[in-house]
Amino acid sequence: MPINPKAKLVEHLLDVKAIEQKPTRDGYGTGLLAAGDENPSVVALCADLMESTRTEAFAQKYPDRFVEMGVAEQNMASVAAGMALMGKIPFISSYAMFSPGRNWEQIRTTIAYNEANVKICGAHAGVSVGPDGATHQAIEDIALMRPIANMTVFSPCDSVEAHKATYAAAKITGPVYVRYAREKTPVFTTAQTPFEPGKAMAFWVEPVRTKPDVAIISCGPLTHNAILAAAELEREGMKVRVINNPSIKPLDKETILKAAKDAKAIVTVEEHQVAGGMGSAIAEFLAQSYPVPVEFIGVQNRFGQSGTPTELIEHYGMGAAHIIEAVTRVIARKS
Amino acid sequence: MPHLHEDKIKFLEEMANQIRQDVIAMVSHARSGHIAGPLGMADIFAALYFHILRHDPKHPEWSERDRLILSNGHICPVRYAAMARAGYFPVEELKTLRTFGSRLQGHPHRTILPGVETTSGPLGSGLSQAVGMAIVAKMDAKKINIYCLMSDGEQECGQTWEAAMLAGKLKLDNLTALIDRNNIQIDGMTEDIMPLEPLRQKYEAFGWHVLDINGHNFEEIANAYETAQAIYEKPVLIIAHTIPGKGVDFMEFEYPWHSKTFKPEEAKESLAQLRTLQGKIKSEHE
Ligand SMILES: Cc1ncc(C[n+]2csc(CCOP(=O)(O)OP(=O)(O)O)c2C)c(N)n1
Ligand SMILES: [Mg+2]
């Protein structure tokens, strides 16, 4: 199988039935705990969503380093800024729609402009939130966080990577946004899979000494769909590279530039509005450095709605079949 | 509003019970959604839709209607049930709650369900919208009542107080807000998570006229809304003391029922309890 051996992925990667399923927010819970065990400066704040954001384990183990804010996300952001300015490393958590959705300006000014060392952890990002509907499905959060100077932005692909991203956030000095999802999704990376801020990695590679026909660059749980699409495309004789890109900011320019040069056609995949998301970050970079055709998988200027996660991923055009169609389109645009 | 005679009280009690049964059927069928809040507010919704509101279910866009803003959108199953029973849409449609393509979104959405008045779910922004409507009703000299329902949890949102302050400043006596004072929120009891008391004095200090009522007593509910109409130069707040999960003994007062999913036997037991409630309901017993 054309899996990159350096990625150390699980074996039964394509077996959708057998693969373990966990929500990425679980990785927030364990990553926060690990960071807290190691560094007593790590503190956590939550706005009446302890259990569903997975802040609970930390709050129970370290009640003196936890502050329950009540339903007050704006206050939470600036209180965390204050705590950071006193030397703590606050992790603030709510649904992404409310943090960083509701408290954006507090994050921009009192956290980022202040260079306050606060980690903003947004649960329930994407339409896969499901039945709660559009009001609770954050599909603009990457676009909100990416343009803020000093901000680092991570979108992990499974619960294991989410753990690493959370843990890494504690080691970075400065504001970090990490995006998590509600729904259970395949756990396909392992503890050995590398995670490094500013680094992307090919999970699926073209045959050695060949060039790929297309490079798919993906973040979040949809990376698994991108791999399923690649497997299907491979059966059709196509050479594909799938790059998992959890570090939206800073971007791994080297890996992305090489992909553009090798494949000369890019498809980006994310569970987010196409406008302002990870795909935009890549397009901004490539437009200047090495323009190639790009097709974007993501939500196209619409709101979410109630439904099952699978129904919604399909309805908004982010299933494996949609990725395959985008590959066909982008290859047709190659000069 | 007309006088609340005994037959009407009996009717409202039966309607509230029906609404509770609808809520349980909907949420257990959807296998997600909120339950304690909707059950606790069923009496108030029955009173609003069947006694207090000036509205026309067949013409939800009637411009002279009273406006009912539900700020705590997560309790929408109770609003949907009350609306269906009042004739806004077929009762059958209640089964579609939270499913793909339904007009009954997990949190209410204005543009697809006439009569919902505004989109809500994110807490703390309903009172501001109600204030905006009340300002316009005054500007345009219209005799429209603006009603806003809020939860106690969202009294923790700063925006609620920004709106309260403005309503007091503008003396919006066409605005009547009500807080579902059920003392629960997601992480626990409100007074443990973020003490809200003394709520009455806080609103009074912001220029409001405040009434405390038992939110399960129809006479008190109707009286409060009637009093609200008689109060001049002040917005009115009704603090409705309610029992979360009211009507189902194992849910009452239990904060985990904010949005717990039903096991099938729990849904069955809830319906059985409601259907036999004090022998008031004539419908079939299970
Ligand atoms: C701005 C915002 N933050 C967080 C949430 C998530 N949330 C939904 S209900 C709720 C609080 C529950 O308390 P209350 O409103 O009193 O609900 P009850 O269980 O009494 O119906 C929270 C925090 C939200 N809907 N909006
Ligand atoms: Mg409450």
Predicted pLDDT at A335: 79
Query: What would the mean pLDDT of B123-150 be, rounded to a whole number?
Result: 98
Distance B186 CA to ligand 1 centre (A): 7
Considering the segment(s) A5-18+194-334 as one domain, its CATH architecture is 3-Layer(aba) Sandwich (3.40)
CB contact under 8 A, B107 and A133: yes
Ranges for all domains in chain A classified under CATH 3.40.50.970: 21-186
The answer to whether residue B116 is domain-embedded is yes
Predicted pLDDT at B157: 98
Q: What would the two tokens of residue B194 be?
A: 């973020």
Has residue A90 got a pLDDT over 80?
yes
Which has more pLDDT, B267 or B183? B183
The answer to whether residue B231 is domain-embedded is yes
pTM of structure: 0.95
Q: Tell me the per-residue pLDDT of B189-246, one tens digit each, with 9 for 90 and over.
A: 999 999 999 999 999 999 999 999 999 999 999 999 999 999 999 999 999 999 999 9
Confidence tier at B72 by pLDDT (50, 70, 90)? very high
Predicted pLDDT at A140: 98
Beta bridge partners of B149: B70, B178
Has residue B262 got a pLDDT over 80?
no
Nearest-angstrom CA–CA distance, A33 and A13: 28
B122 lines ligand 1 (CB under 6 A): yes
The answer to whether residue B1 is domain-embedded is no
pLDDT averaged over every residue in chain B:
93
Distance B73 CA to ligand 2 centre (A): 12
CB contact under 8 A, B109 and A133: yes
Which has more pLDDT, A318 or B260? A318
Q: Domains in chain B: how many in total?
A: 1
Confidence tier at B253 by pLDDT (50, 70, 90)? confident
Nearest-angstrom CA–CA distance, A37 and A100: 26
Please give, rounded to a whole number of angstroms, the shortest distance from the CA of B191 to a CA of chain A. Answer: 10
Has residue B282 got a pLDDT over 80?
no
Look at A93-97, A283-287, B28-32, B242-246 and tell me which has the smallest mean pLDDT. B28-32
Please give, rounded to a whole number of angstroms, the shortest distance from the CA of A150 to a CA of chain B. Answer: 27
Ranges for all domains in chain A classified under CATH 3.40.50.920: 5-18+194-334
Confidence tier at B264 by pLDDT (50, 70, 90)? confident
Predicted pLDDT at B275: 77
Identified catalytic residue from A11, A68, A73, A115: A73
Q: Tell me the per-residue pLDDT of A25-62, one tens digit each, with 9 for 90 and over.
A: 999 999 999 999 999 999 999 999 999 999 999 999 99
User: For chain A, what percent of residues have pLDDT higher than 90?
Assistant: 99
Nearest-angstrom CA–CA distance, B221 and B214: 7
Query: What CATH number is associated with residue B254?
Result: 3.40.50.970
Helix (H, G, I), strand (E, B) or coil at A160: helix
Nearest-angstrom CA–CA distance, A321 and A177: 30
Look at A229-233, B213-217, B272-276 and tell me which has the smallest mean pLDDT. B272-276
Has residue A21 got a pLDDT over 90?
yes
**CATH class of domain segment(s) A21-186:** alpha beta
Alpha helices, H only, B55-198: 76-86, 126-139, 158-169, 190-193
- Domain ranges, residue B151: 6-284
B258 lines ligand 1 (CB under 6 A): yes
| Residue keyed to tokens 């260079």 | A115
Predicted pLDDT at B277: 58
A69 lines ligand 1 (CB under 6 A): no
* B41, B45, B148, B185: residue to mutate for ligand 1 pocket, most atoms within 8 A of CB: B185
Q: Is B102 on the interface with A (CB under 8 A)?
A: yes
Please give, rounded to a whole number of angstroms, the shortest distance from the CA of A273 to a CA of chain B. Answer: 20
Name the closest residue on chain A to residue B161, using Cα atoms: A72
Predicted pLDDT at B1: 76
Nearest-angstrom CA–CA distance, B29 and B32: 8
Nearest CB to B122: which of A98, A131, A307? Answer: A98
Query: What would the mean pLDDT of A195-217 be, rounded to a whole number?
Result: 97
Has residue A149 got a pLDDT over 70?
yes
CB contact under 8 A, B193 and A75: no
Look at A237-251, B96-110, B253-267 and tell me which has the smallest mean pLDDT. B253-267
Predicted pLDDT at B284: 37
Which has more pLDDT, B263 or B101? B101
Residue A211: partners with Cβ closer than 8 Å, 6 or more residues away: A239, A262, A263
The answer to whether residue B52 is domain-embedded is yes
B145 lines ligand 1 (CB under 6 A): no
B74 lines ligand 1 (CB under 6 A): yes
Exposure string of A291-302, with b = 16+ CB inside 10 Å and e = fewer, is ebbbbbbbbeee
Cis peptide before A212 (omega within 30 of 0): no
Nearest-angstrom CA–CA distance, B36 and B250: 11
Integer angstrom CA distances of residue A98 from A46, A103, A235, B42? 11, 7, 43, 28
Predicted pLDDT at B2: 77
What region, left, alpha or beta, does residue B245 occupy, with left being phi > 0 and alpha being psi -120 to 50 degrees? left
Q: Tell me the per-residue pLDDT of A299-311, one tens digit each, with 9 for 90 and over.
A: 999 999 999 999 9
